[in-house]
Chain A
């Protein structure tokens, strides 16, 4: 089975994330890393390959600036077989509609693919829409938000913990799938994995390679615009009491009553 994993390089959530003057996310001035939620996608792809135990291959695909190559490298260290990095100045500022276009064309160029695995959402934009858009563009079924994954011949089956029900959903390959952080801890790269990754093939493609015009992507082609961004004023720390003398509960209830919650 030929598996493509889509991974995004995102600003570190524990760093001070911020916006540029044009309302796009600052992706250069803040330390970045492989989106933690995409590690689960890499993990599930590797597990599918391992369970099949055949000549299945896992290709990691990332669309993003120069630094995004770090996200691909980490995935290769975890065990993916090869990497594709789509990088082009024109892509900066793309919205999810344009991003899904670039990913879809890159998947097509990768060629004979069976399964595209995505994370549930990117940890910066966190829209969680790219997998559905990708399926729409590629004209294949989508199995989204899988919390466990099973492959049986040509059929992929996931468990999906929805708001109103837990469902089992299946489809026949080729298809797009996304997995949640409930799907199982992602592995750490081993020393061997880190050494092996250095020799794995990594291709860099431009928009021209994908037949996409620069006018189709980027900030100027975005179908939505950010009008303004504003840092939320930090919450001011209120009163904190200790329960050392056993008065904590009474103080708590008194506070709740003063706010009319009791």
Chain B
């Protein structure tokens, strides 16, 4: 059976994130998963194996850690070459870094590239991907016709399923060119953990926009009552009320949760691009003409400053 390379997303607190487990689950539809980890892999081998990794390639990154994405692309392209023509696909996480690695890898290996897949299935002529485009207005199915299919996959594209793989660990030391060391990370401030679920992985997202007037406490309290992640519109981010990492939309995160609650958000196309594929959409907005109401399964025309605290209280009471 042919192999599928899976790039393990940057470990957070030394742990493998859910998106990586989704990638491994998808990889098993296409072939035998080979997990590629940059840096220390001993702590994560077991979880990778339990989601199907037959091999775990631990790439020694001591010399390239501070050089952004280019060295990772070179290391992966070496692995692609080593694997030969039998390789079924390379799967990467669809973040900024994953997409850049994928882009470079495509050029280096002469392979076709598909980004932001929300589903990948085995097909007669290789993997068939599903993408959501034009602000979620269209669904597109595509496939790679040249080289090794390189596909970046969005979070929440599959339900992780366990299936034990051998998990044989191999150390790999890449040859990295000087050119790839050109970009240097000179300072790094880790993002503060919010204690809430990760925005792109959460089952429920509660967002606030300009209508919050800058007070996100009500939005946060409602989110916490539901065990939800907090999101924001660009207007809220541009006003400095929330960090950019919380922005939902075209130039922020794309979320596709079971429930999305938009509070004081008008529903501009660029915001919709990031949340339109949510299962259930709810909005609280004081303007009954707000475009967000065209999308909702349930809407409240009202002031979020009265509706949210009352709703938070009632959810708490119900939960006891």
Contacts and interface: CB of A to CB of B under 8 A. Distances in A.
B197 interface: no
Contacts of A248: 284, 300-302, 306-307, 310
B318 A145 contact: no
A132 B299 CA distance: 42
Contacts of A224: 112-114, 142-146
Interface of A is mostly: mixed
Interface in B239-294: 243-245, 250-251, 258-259, 269-270, 276-277, 280-282, 284, 288, 293-294
Interface string B187-215: 11111000000000000100000000000
A129 B139 contact: no
Interface string A248-262: 111111011101011
B102 A129 contact: yes
Contacts, number: 267
Interface in A111-158: 120-121, 123-124, 126-133, 135-137, 139-145, 147, 157
B128 interface: yes
Contacts of B244: 147, 161, 182
Interface residues of A, number: 84
A125 to B, nearest CB: 8
A94 interface: no
A164 B10 contact: yes
B164 interface: no
A227 B114 CA distance: 13
Interface in A178-236: 180-182, 222-232, 235
Interface residues of B, number: 93
A224 B295 CA distance: 33
B166 to A, nearest CB: 30
B182 A241 contact: no
Interface string B119-159: 00000000010001111111111111111000000000000
Contact of A135 (B70, B133, B135, B303): B70
A131 B2 CA distance: 31
Nearest to A258: B298
A73 B225 CA distance: 52
A241 B300 CA distance: 5
B79 interface: no
Given A137-B107, A252-B311, 6 more contacts: A17-B134, A127-B103, A163-B96, A168-B185, A227-B143, A239-B297
**9 tightest CB-CB pairs across the interface, nearest first?**
A243-B302, A141-B182, A223-B112, A129-B103, A249-B310, A240-B299, A224-B112, A132-B100, A238-B297
